[in-house]
Structure 1
Amino acid sequence: MMNLAVFASGNGSNFEAVMEAVKSGAVQGEVKLLVCDKEQAFAIERAKNHGIPTFVASPKKYSSKEAYETNVLKQLHENNVELIVLAGYMRLIGSTLLHAFEHRILNIHPSLLPAFPGLDAIGQAFDAKVKVSGVTVHYVDAGMDTGPIIAQESIYIEDGDTREDVQRKIQQVEHQLYPATIQKVIEQITRGV
């Protein structure tokens, strides 16, 4: 069993998918902590419903990104976290966490990277009128959605699809691909790969 922390900023649907996969045994890990940077995020309610401790703090209340991440790091160490899973965490990870968890931070992004990095990837793809988009799971580095890609899966955008249709298709893929990829990474870490 690997100890996980999930970072989220919003609704937490991917957090929920990870929790379901952990409970079913599809992910051989234990979620020890939810880290959230938005006090009103629904992900906090989801964590409470699962009995998962939360660390909620606004980075704006800290003197620097380093000060914020140092406090987050303290929480991670106290909970013996071994792998960080970003699930709709809308903040770039800084050097404090990157150094402490090198090759141990995963992110899910709603596009086929390197296409449409950053905010509102679904809207970017929809506005660009692409016919194929998808989901990418990657390791986090210092850039925005630039880390090494672990897994990708595509979706087709049909004529007449609304932005909401595209989002629904993306989320269906995310909720399957992310837990499966997390398990793959856990297995690789366990084997020392």
Structure 2
Amino acid sequence: MADSCNAVVLVSGSGSNLQALIDSQGGGNPLRIRAVISNRADAYGLTRAKNAGIATQVLDHRTYEGREAFDGALMEAIDVFQPHLVILAGFMRILTPAFVRHYEGRLLNIHPSLLPRHKGLHTHRRVLEARDNEHGCSVHFVTEELDGGPLVIQAVVPVQPGDSEESLALRVYLQEHRIYPQAVRWFAEGRLRLTPEGALLDGEKLPATGHLIRT
């Protein structure tokens, strides 16, 4: 990895994970967020980026003829910055196989569940409906399988009696803001990489759960 790890972050909403990543820069961390791109002009993540002096761009997916056209334009916008890493931080788009292949091994996502459980949306509600004892969040490499790429790190949050979707979500968010900067820093430092065998950290294959943290 170069002295600095150039990254582009994709957001669709408030950008709380983006803020955690912005705050993690410096202090010996090679991460350098070069740009933040959103498919929504009203995404507050764009404001967070501007406040940090980071370039921003909006590509409204509704103005494109289908997912392939949008993803093609998105790849062009990203590649201007020659990123070592593309970070999905609440980017609410299902990516085309061509996009995923283009950034293979340098595309990370965070998901609010203990994958492979509860892929997709509304995870906090589904955890409560399933009466799960544990919930959490997962950072993984993105592959063509939705929420299915090799896991890097997971944080486990106990489900407490009387939890609502909101109370559970708040505790999960706290862990997201902890583990995403950690995973990204590992990548930026050249310690984390994706191989045909799976995700490696410091040359060792990570377990199926990724690096597991219990809170």
TM-score band by shorter chain is over 0.9
Q: Confirm or deny: 8 A CA contact 1:92 1:142 kept in the other structure.
A: no
The SS at the match of 1:55 is strand
One-letter identity of the residue aligned with 1:177: I
Q: In 2 relative to 1, CA 147–153 (structure 1 residues): closer, same or farther, beyond 3 Å?
A: same
For normalisation by structure 1, the TM-score amounts to 0.93
| 1:133-148 equivalence runs, <5 A | 133-148=135-150
1:71 deviates by 1.4
Q: CA RMSD in A?
A: 1.8
In structure 2, C-alpha distance between the alignment counterparts of 1:68 and 1:108, rounded to whole Å: 22
Greater shift in the superposed pair: 152-161 or 62-71: 62-71
Q: In 2 relative to 1, CA 100–168 (structure 1 residues): closer, same or farther, beyond 3 Å?
A: same
Greater shift in the superposed pair: 61-70 or 44-53: 61-70
The SS at the match of 2:24 is helix
After superposition, give the CA deviation of every residue in 1:29-71 in whole Å (9 maximum; x if it has no partner).
1101111111211111111111111121121211122221221
1:98 equivalenced with 2:61 (yes/no): no
| 1:101-116 equivalence runs, <5 A | 101-116=103-118
1:161 deviates by 2.0
Q: In 2 relative to 1, CA 51–131 (structure 1 residues): closer, same or farther, beyond 3 Å?
A: same
| 1:36-47 equivalence runs, <5 A | 36-47=38-49
2:13 to 10, 22, 31: 10
1:189 deviates by 5.8
Matched residue pairs, number? 192
1:96 deviates by 2.8
In structure 2, C-alpha distance between the alignment counterparts of 1:161 and 1:66, rounded to whole Å: 40
In structure 2, C-alpha distance between the alignment counterparts of 1:6 and 1:24, rounded to whole Å: 20
Q: In 2 relative to 1, CA 188–128 (structure 1 residues): closer, same or farther, beyond 3 Å?
A: same
1:163 to 162, 165, 176: 165
In structure 2, C-alpha distance between the alignment counterparts of 1:42 and 1:128, rounded to whole Å: 32
The SS at the match of 1:170 is helix
Greater shift in the superposed pair: 57-66 or 8-17: 57-66
The SS at the match of 2:120 is coil
Higher-helix-fraction structure: 1
**5+ long unaligned stretches in structure 1:** none
Counting aligned pairs with the same residue, the percent is 29
**5+ long unaligned stretches in structure 2:** 194-200, 204-215
In structure 2, C-alpha distance between the alignment counterparts of 1:192 and 1:162, rounded to whole Å: 39
